[in-house]
Structure 1
Amino acid sequence: MPKLTIDGLEVEVPAGTSVLQAAEELGIEIPRFCYHPRLPVAANCRMCLVEIEKVPKPVASCAQPVGEGMVVKTNSPAALQARKNVMELLLINHPLDCPICDQGGECDLQDQAVAYGKDKGRYIEEKRAVTEKYLGPLIKTAMTRCIHCTRCVRFLTEIAGVPELGMVNRGEHAEITTYVERALTSELSGNIVDLCPVGALTSKPYAFTARPWELKKTESIDVLDAVGSNIRIDTRGNQVMRVLPRLHEDVNEEWLGDKSRAAIDGLAKRRLDTPYVRRDGQLRPATWAEAFAAIEAGLSGLKGAEIAAIAGDLADAESMFALKLLMQALGSPNLDCRQDGAALDPKVSASWRFNTGIAGIEQADALLIVGSNPRIEAPVLNARIRKRVLKGGFKVATVGVKTDLTYAAQHLGDGVEAFQAVVDGENPFFDVLKTAERPMIVLGMGALARADGARILGAARHLAEKAGLVKDGWNGFNVLHTAAARVGGLEIGFVPGKGGLDTRGILKAAAAGKVKAVWLLGADQLPTNPLDSAFVIYQGHHGDVGAQVADVILPGAAYTEKDGTYVNTEGRVQRAQRAVFPPGEAREDWKILRAASEVLGHVLPFDSLDALRDALAAAVPAFATPDAAAPGAWGDFGEAGALDAALGPLGSAVSNYYMTDPISRASPTMAACTLEIIEAGNARTGTHG
């Protein structure tokens, strides 16, 4: 490894390391605009100029590889003067609109102009102006501010895989544009707002609403998909103003999906902020005492087998655990967290985890995707797959409806026949998996939620064992969930007890009058017709599908309004923190269940969140070790038997990325994205959906 000296300090770094990276190893700061550690090097802002001995002019440190014996000066008079000159040139056309710029207060250009710029400029000619560009409902542009760092272009091209931005013209006439003016179609497009070092790209929903120094910042977890992206929630008063990604190398790196970022305006729409009780066929506002009295009356005289509970996709682990204990106290074995009916075996943890881990994708060398579209089910995870594809030596194949995943993938077929051919070794991709050192399969809810889902799961297990996907130090069997609550519910055991009914069984029994009361914990993805004759208790935060069929509504708290534990698709236990308080009479879900248990005569054995978490960790030890993920224990799972081709092609469980849950369905921004991106795209291509 070459040794070099930077500002009198000697450092030894791997060959190929840039001077800028070597300086960071020593804690020496070199200013930059275009350089970003996760993007290809462009070296076009020239702000990172340094002086290198025996080199006649300043050098861009981001693009200069280190050399043996190199002597670098980052703060010499020549280097400082070069930076001042660069800053002066960058500011020639930059408008003086910091007071009205949303980037103000967290702007790299502001900070570096103060630290490295001159106190005056010499340019007296007229400034140029650039027309604004339309990039869709999420991104607001002020392209006169653009300094052509091309971070946005490189992100969309390399990381997101949707090359819809680029530079046209040259010199003073150069502009960043979409070529054809239309909304960006990447599900990760909002990240270019974070990457922009100036105010050229800002958040359109957040525009002119707050200043960064006004905001309280809370570290939390995103629950609008199953990735468990780490986020920061910025609030003012009791209002969520914006959500930004937080660094976690093993989960989301520093990226965030557009829905997770921009659906937050749905938190204030269609909210349930007071209890409701159905009287004379209509839901009417009630007090908590009246709501609990109605529940007591509705459950009175019912046997345990006549009561059921279903947990929704956004439920936290604490509330599911509390509801499970309450159902057990009532004698009911009928409970399920798989409201889509996915055929996941609760007895074998490897059958419902992303066993390689999200970061483990980067070690794999072959991938088969079955019944899933990671691009819309988990955009951040899909970006990790693309990252691995770009490194080379990674073959990807898909079984299911053909779609653009943003990377090259061999399409083996639409239906289960193509999957069965791989399992039987009749498709050449079986040999690809068998000869790979670290092969993996990703099984989606589009496959497992079918009527033959248990047989597909069994076939996938057979393939994993036959092709060597599970071996010492590697488990390549992965299930990609779409619900943040699913893995946590399976860990807790929120599944049918002995003789109990699953979701399909509960709905069928309710329609037949055998199940007479159903407790819906935020369950909004169900067909409600079978529940018409049952007594329905809905506990949730939005007036969505479940609330409309309810006889009693208990207003709960959204994920930004409570401390809760969630388990992502790889089995990683993570804690969300309360950023604001629930509106009106709404309360945290575990508190509602604790209060209801008193009225029902089965008092739950905890009266604080800490006590509840202690009980949860005692029952399920995995909850005692947050932020740890490991492959599940392998075993025998799934069913044998022929796959049902008559059920049609293997599609994704998600049809509209922007509307998958009560929060995003209530969001005006997500409605605009649906209209301007999905429906406009369908109109251009002549497709329907």
Structure 2
Amino acid sequence: MRRAASSPLSSAVRRGKFHSSSPSSKEIEVFIDGKAVQVEEGSAIIQAAEKAGVTIPRFCYHERLGVAGNCRMCLVEIEKNPKMAASCAMPVAPGMRVITESAKIKQAREGVMEFLLANHPLDCPICDQGGECDLQDQSMRYGADRGRFGEAKRAVEDKDIGPLVKTTMTRCIQCTRCVRFINEVAGTGELGTTGRGNDMQIGTYVARPLASELSGNIIDLCPVGALTAKPSAFAARPWELTSTESVDVMDALGSAIRVDSRGAEVIRIVPRTNDLVNEEWLGDKARFAYDGLKRQRLTVPLVRVGGRLEPASWADALQLVGRRLRATPPADVAAVAGDLADAESLVALKDLINAAGSERLGVDSPIGDGLPADVRAGYTFGATLAGVEDADAVLLVATNPRREAPVLNARLRKPYLAGSAVFGVVGDAADLTFDYDHVGSSLGAVDALRTGDSAFARALRAAKRPLVIVGAGAAEQRGGGAVLAAVARLAAAVPALLTPEWNGLCVLQNAAGRTAALDIGYSGGSADASSAQFVYLLGADRAAANLSPSAFVVFQGHHGDAGALAADVVLPGLAYTEKSATFVNTEGRVQRTRQAVAAPGAARPDWQIIRALSDSAGLPLAYDDVAALRARMADVCPALVNPDVLEPTSAEVARLGVAQMAKNGGRDAGGALSLSSVIADYYMSDPISRASRTMAKASAMAKGISGQQCSPSIEMSSSSS
């Protein structure tokens, strides 16, 4: 696949300028305001100052973006240099002496602020950036007490770039952070600058919305109020909000987030920095789907009476479920774990179903082979999320990371921009924001790589750090085990894939609750709930379509989706912003959410519902509080009680995972095996986003953009299966 040329603004990143992190980098000594500091050779002065604990003001500079050097706010003096230099664009030299505070620098900063404010509107009372605005803060600290410009301020027309980002371009100071992010990190290249001098503007080259799944990050990057969140416009001021650190569950990465709430309502969700997981980026679904938390919610227990779901008390609903569970033979009892189920409720449900005499525990997937759950290396992301940046050959099998994990897709762009990795895809040809060889669309293309003579096949076998990413959804279909078996055969032909130093076999989960379910002992498939007579759906919606009409169905969850419509009894649980719960991301990292807002109506924590049900069923569980439950979790899987700890996988264990994958092969796919991504619509993939009006608008926008693209801008390679 070939893409249009990248923006010139990407050149600094591709060259690695000022951002060297090689272990062999030489360190040199420089002096910042007389203080000696050791920094890597090639670092910028502004980076050396940060290491020395000295803050230099900036607008255009950002440590994760290429260098622009156009705001001039970071000017410093260098000893023996007649002119001041932009500290973001000037590399350090051995023995360099830098002055960051002087009368000359103070005057220069005041001049820069005066120019920036000359055309800036007096919007602070109505600007959503107020209270968090870099321009406000720096004008107070570094600006003068008056300006000398009396001319009329420049006005710029606002741009419509979609339902997520609101533009007020009169406030723009042309720092180009948004342009560099869209070009370098997101990779869609829609933003740029037009005009020169006083006529310079930032916008899309043609009138169209942004098509990136990471577009909301330009709101955080904007140092003024030119780009703000459209869904939360004029909703609150920052000082009115209560902030809670938590973890995102909209995909399986477990991105670090901060939930800002006022009272019982979530006002916004923004990313937190976690270099090991999401750096400081966040997908648009995770950022903007929060309005779905207050729509289509289940707030009271419901019992089906005469074909209709009617409100009931907790006691009546639990007693009914308990009686039906006791009356059902153990062989006919099954439980299905949904995509957003937390580890506490998964352990409690497993204990309850086991106490009832059944072992039929599965995950919410179509009737398929499922992932092997015996060895953790067979269903986790072995190389770690940060480790993908070290790969030199990457093969994507039956996955579209841009839809399934857009932040991971941005990480994959790093070795692409650096020119250190080649990419291949087996599955649908799609715009992944980086060039790749489309190896094929059938399973035979994976086997062809073992002995094939294509350029990518040779590169994969010769790579020192090859990476194979398999979409977990590939195994969640009839015959899906054949995909895993083909990958296992490929692993045997690429020795560098599994070594003591490198685990390049990665399964990309697409659901936040999936890894924990497999850790706890749920089968990787649906546990064939279609033949059970008592089915407990823990937030599971897809499985509802395959249940027996005679089955007694219990649905426990927080949204009235497909599972609730098929249920005989509905028990209202809590969403991730309303509880403190444990999740395990796709790489096996244990993380915990924290309660940010109160539970709506009569909804209760999920594990407490199951604990109360166990009493009604005459099968009381042996824990009454979270501490005791987590002690039980430690017995089931010790890793579940070690938050933010990622246990390394040895090469021997990784090979056991490959062996488990190989055992799943050989089943008949009926000629219908698909290698497409299981997520067809990024914006509508879970009950929260499906209830979100904002995501509905974004989904319609994305479909409109796709419909306008008459001919795809891709070119297939000559190598195919």
Q: Which residue of 1 aligns with 2:679?
A: 654
Q: Which moved more, 1:266-275 or 1:297-306?
A: 297-306
Instruction: Note the C-alpha offset of 1:464.
Output: 1.1
Counterparts of 2:453 and 2:571 in 1: how far apart (Å)?
54
1:677 corresponds to which of 702, 709, 719: 702
Corresponding letter in the other structure for 2:515: V
Q: Which residue of 1 aligns with 2:187?
A: 161
Deviations 1:458-505 (A, max 9, x none): 221121122111112211110001000100000111238xxxxx5262
Counterparts of 2:466 and 2:94 in 1: how far apart (Å)?
39
Secondary structure of residue in 2 paired with 1:380: helix
Counterparts of 2:647 and 2:449 in 1: how far apart (Å)?
27
The verdict on how the C-alpha distance between 1:645 and 1:549 changes in structure 2, with shifts beyond 3 A counting, is: closer
Instruction: Note the C-alpha offset of 1:369.
Output: 0.5
Q: Which residue of 1 aligns with 2:605?
A: 588
For 1:476-555, list aligned pairs within 5 A.
476-495=504-523, 502-503=525-526, 505-507=528-530, 509=531, 515-555=532-572
2:243 corresponds to which of 217, 237, 242: 217
Q: What is the root-mean-square deviation in Å for CA atoms of aligned residues?
A: 1.6
Please say if residues 422 and 428 of structure 1, whose CA atoms lie closer than 8 Å, have aligned partners that are also in contact: no
For 1:397-412, list aligned pairs within 5 A.
397-412=424-439
Corresponding letter in the other structure for 1:109: L
Instruction: Note the C-alpha offset of 1:452.
Output: 1.8
Does residue 563 of structure 1 match 2:586? no
Deviations 1:594-629 (A, max 9, x none): 111111111111111111111101221111321122
Q: Which residue of 1 aligns with 2:413?
A: 386
Counterparts of 2:241 and 2:233 in 1: how far apart (Å)?
14
Corresponding letter in the other structure for 1:379: P
Counterparts of 1:428 and 1:5 in 2: how far apart (Å)?
49
The sequence identity of aligned pairs, in percent, is 52
Q: TM-score scaled to structure 2, two decimals?
A: 0.92
Secondary structure of residue in 2 paired with 1:526: helix
Deviations 1:312-369 (A, max 9, x none): 0000000000000000000111111252446211112111010000011011111110
The verdict on how the C-alpha distance between 1:289 and 1:686 changes in structure 2, with shifts beyond 3 A counting, is: farther
Corresponding letter in the other structure for 1:251: V
Q: Which moved more, 1:58-67 or 1:671-680?
A: 671-680
Counterparts of 1:47 and 1:474 in 2: how far apart (Å)?
43
Counterparts of 1:647 and 1:423 in 2: how far apart (Å)?
24
Instruction: Note the C-alpha offset of 1:649.
Output: 4.6
For 1:202-601, list aligned pairs within 5 A.
202-340=228-366, 341=368, 343-425=370-452, 428-468=455-495, 469-495=497-523, 502-503=525-526, 505-507=528-530, 509=531, 515-601=532-618
Q: Which residue of 1 aligns with 2:140?
A: 114
Corresponding letter in the other structure for 1:627: D
The verdict on how the C-alpha distance between 1:9 and 1:384 changes in structure 2, with shifts beyond 3 A counting, is: same
Q: Which moved more, 1:270-279 or 1:68-77?
A: 68-77
Q: How many residues are aligned here?
A: 676
Secondary structure of residue in 1 paired with 2:660: coil
Q: Which residue of 1 aligns with 2:35?
A: 9
Please say if residues 67 and 89 of structure 2, whose CA atoms lie closer than 8 Å, have aligned partners that are also in contact: yes
Does residue 31 of structure 1 match 2:53? no
Counterparts of 2:455 and 2:74 in 1: how far apart (Å)?
50
For 1:133-148, list aligned pairs within 5 A.
133-148=159-174
For 1:569-648, list aligned pairs within 5 A.
569-632=586-649, 633-634=653-654, 635=656, 636-638=659-661, 639-641=664-666, 644=669, 646-647=671-672
The verdict on how the C-alpha distance between 1:531 and 1:236 changes in structure 2, with shifts beyond 3 A counting, is: farther
Counterparts of 1:424 and 1:453 in 2: how far apart (Å)?
23
Deviations 1:151-199 (A, max 9, x none): 0000000001011000100011110011211110000000000000000
Counterparts of 1:100 and 1:478 in 2: how far apart (Å)?
48
Q: Which moved more, 1:366-375 or 1:520-529?
A: 520-529
Counterparts of 2:641 and 2:325 in 1: how far apart (Å)?
34
Secondary structure of residue in 2 paired with 1:647: coil
Counterparts of 1:673 and 1:626 in 2: how far apart (Å)?
34
Corresponding letter in the other structure for 1:505: D
The verdict on how the C-alpha distance between 1:428 and 1:22 changes in structure 2, with shifts beyond 3 A counting, is: closer
**Runs of at least 5 residues in structure 1 that lack an aligned partner in the other structure:** 497-501, 510-514
Instruction: Note the C-alpha offset of 1:686.
Output: 7.4
Counterparts of 1:303 and 1:649 in 2: how far apart (Å)?
36
Deviations 1:83-102 (A, max 9, x none): 00000000000001101000
**Runs of at least 5 residues in structure 2 that lack an aligned partner in the other structure:** 1-26, 713-721
Please say if residues 219 and 232 of structure 1, whose CA atoms lie closer than 8 Å, have aligned partners that are also in contact: yes
Please say if residues 578 and 596 of structure 2, whose CA atoms lie closer than 8 Å, have aligned partners that are also in contact: yes
2:221 corresponds to which of 195, 208, 211: 195
Corresponding letter in the other structure for 2:273: L
Corresponding letter in the other structure for 1:444: G
Please say if residues 477 and 673 of structure 2, whose CA atoms lie closer than 8 Å, have aligned partners that are also in contact: no
Deviations 1:255-314 (A, max 9, x none): 000000000000000000000000111100111011112212322421111111000000
Q: TM-score scaled to structure 1, two decimals?
A: 0.96
Counterparts of 1:637 and 1:122 in 2: how far apart (Å)?
73
Counterparts of 2:586 and 2:383 in 1: how far apart (Å)?
11
Secondary structure of residue in 1 paired with 2:327: coil
Instruction: Note the C-alpha offset of 1:423.
Output: 3.9
Secondary structure of residue in 2 paired with 1:235: strand
Counterparts of 2:34 and 2:704 in 1: how far apart (Å)?
60
Corresponding letter in the other structure for 1:478: C
Corresponding letter in the other structure for 2:558: H
Counterparts of 1:463 and 1:664 in 2: how far apart (Å)?
37
Please say if residues 353 and 631 of structure 1, whose CA atoms lie closer than 8 Å, have aligned partners that are also in contact: no
Please say if residues 430 and 467 of structure 1, whose CA atoms lie closer than 8 Å, have aligned partners that are also in contact: no
Instruction: Note the C-alpha offset of 1:528.
Output: 1.9
Q: Which moved more, 1:4-13 or 1:210-219?
A: 4-13
Secondary structure of residue in 2 paired with 1:523: coil
Secondary structure of residue in 1 paired with 2:275: coil
Counterparts of 1:495 and 1:601 in 2: how far apart (Å)?
26
Counterparts of 1:75 and 1:55 in 2: how far apart (Å)?
15
Please say if residues 164 and 216 of structure 2, whose CA atoms lie closer than 8 Å, have aligned partners that are also in contact: yes
Please say if residues 323 and 617 of structure 2, whose CA atoms lie closer than 8 Å, have aligned partners that are also in contact: no
Corresponding letter in the other structure for 1:235: S
The verdict on how the C-alpha distance between 1:570 and 1:124 changes in structure 2, with shifts beyond 3 A counting, is: same
